[in-house]
């Protein structure tokens, strides 16, 4: 999939730390269509590529809208966007990618957004409103001033939204165990927000069926201990066969499959390189993988039919066969 050239038409402060960016096709005309929940990976002049969810109505073809939180602890992607990008600039990005689709067969859709996590959830609201499907949004932020897209959210969700402001103290936030106490068959829950919220939700919905809950990560939700455990695992070299091109590659202990694919000239989309954004997923045809990502569910890891090549490796003695 070739990258697309986008022109910035508007940059606006939504909150003290969140800016909205409106992008159109640099050469004019329609943009590639997107579904609710999709994101684009923006290539930045500082060499970083970062994923940003689209928030606008998916029926719009003339623009993409995204919102970006300035993350001072990050590697500089959001800081670069905040400090450098202005109307009239041209950016390169992937076509819309989808890791967070709506299940349109749901009898009811519950949406939970924490802070900047509202971006894909807002697009989902547009889609659900258009289909007339029952929905309810729980939108959690620190304060009304920190609530991006407040008016648009009210317009899209009408009475089907609950705002919660915790003033920076998660114990004063939404009572997740109460809100998600009962699971009604046919309900699907979509969650997008920071790692702490996602971990709390995972605990609160442990009794829900795994395939009824969908998470979109904006950064790793692992605790420091979990990250340290994975980093401490001893890596072995292993082979990867590319079924369609007939090439076999050796992955050394200190390199990822993604590193070697890129070095060998195979184009693979990627963004976070840490196993949480979903960009680098490749269908897996053979071999048992050591799945180290946060994108696939436990069930998907068990099924072993796809792999995030930026972090996952082969189980000892296994050779992986990729569909590429
Ligand atoms: S690049 Fe983000 S999961 Fe692999």
User: For 7-57, how does the pLDDT look when each residue is reduced to its tens digit (9 = 90+)?
Assistant: 999 999 999 999 999 999 999 999 999 999 999 989 888 888 888 999 999
What integer is the mean pLDDT of 117-141?
Answer: 97
Ligand 1 center from residue 266 Cα (angstroms) = 16
- Does the 108-217 domain belong in CATH 3.40.50.150? no
187-193 and 213-217: which strand pairing? parallel
Question: What pLDDT score does 234 carry?
Answer: 83
Q: How far apart are CA 42 and CA 39, in angstroms?
A: 9
Q: How far apart are CA 124 and CA 57, in angstroms?
A: 8
Asked whether the beta carbons of 31 and 63 are under 8 A apart, the reply is yes
For residue 218, pLDDT over 70 is answered with: no
DSSP reduced 3-state for 9: strand
Residue 295 beta carbon below 6 angstroms from any ligand 1 atom: yes
| Integer angstrom CA distances of residue 319 from 219, 273, 289, 302, 304 | 30, 22, 9, 17, 13
Residue 273 beta carbon below 6 angstroms from any ligand 1 atom: yes
pTM of the full structure:
0.78
Ligand 1 center from residue 185 Cα (angstroms) = 32
Domain residue ranges in the chain: 4-93, 108-217, 234-322
Atom of ligand 1 at shortest distance to CA of 270? 1
**What's the CATH number for 4-93?**
2.40.30.10
Residue 307 beta carbon below 6 angstroms from any ligand 1 atom: no
Atom of ligand 1 at shortest distance to CA of 272? 2
What is the homologous superfamily of the domain 234-322 according to CATH?
Beta-grasp domain (3.10.20.30)
Q: How far apart are CA 110 and CA 95, in angstroms?
A: 27
């Amino acid at each position: 999939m070739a990258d697309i050239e986008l022109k910035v038409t508007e940059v606006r402060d939504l909150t003290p730390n969140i800016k909205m960016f409106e992008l159109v096709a640099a050469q004019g005309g329609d943009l590639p269509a997107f579904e609710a929940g999709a994101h684009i990976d923006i290539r930045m002049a500082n060499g970083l590529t970062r994923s940003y969810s689209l928030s606008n109505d998916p029926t719009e073809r003339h623009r993409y809208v995204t919102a970006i939180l300035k993350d001072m602890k990050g590697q500089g992607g959001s800081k670069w966007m905040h400090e450098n990008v202005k109307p009239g600039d041209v950016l390169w990005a992937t076509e819309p990618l989808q890791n967070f689709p709506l299940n349109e067969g749901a009898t009811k859709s519950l949406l939970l957004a924490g802070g900047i996590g509202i971006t894909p959830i807002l697009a989902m609201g547009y889609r659900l409103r258009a289909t007339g499907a029952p929905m309810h949004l729980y939108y959690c932020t620190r304060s009304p001033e920190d609530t991006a897209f407040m008016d648009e959210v009210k317009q899209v969700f009408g009475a089907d939204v609950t705002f919660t402001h915790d003033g920076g103290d998660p114990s004063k936030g939404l009572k997740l165990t109460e809100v998600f106490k009962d699971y009604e068959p046919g309900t699907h829950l979509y969650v997008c927000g920071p790692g702490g919220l996602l971990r709390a939700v995972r605990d609160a919905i442990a009794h829900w069926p795994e395939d009824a809950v969908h998470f979109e990560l904006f950064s790793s939700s692992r605790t420091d201990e979990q990250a340290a455990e994975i980093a401490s695992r001893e890596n072995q070299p292993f082979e990867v066969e590319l079924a369609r091109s007939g090439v076999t590659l050796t992955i050394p202990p200190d390199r990822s499959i993604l590193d070697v694919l890129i070095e060998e000239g195979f184009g693979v989309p990627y963004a976070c390189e840490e196993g949480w954004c979903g960009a680098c997923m490749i269908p897996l045809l053979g071999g048992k993988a050591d799945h180290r990502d946060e994108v696939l569910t436990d069930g998907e890891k068990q099924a072993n039919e796809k792999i995030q090549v930026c972090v996952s490796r082969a189980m000892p003695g296994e050779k992986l066969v990729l569909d590429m």
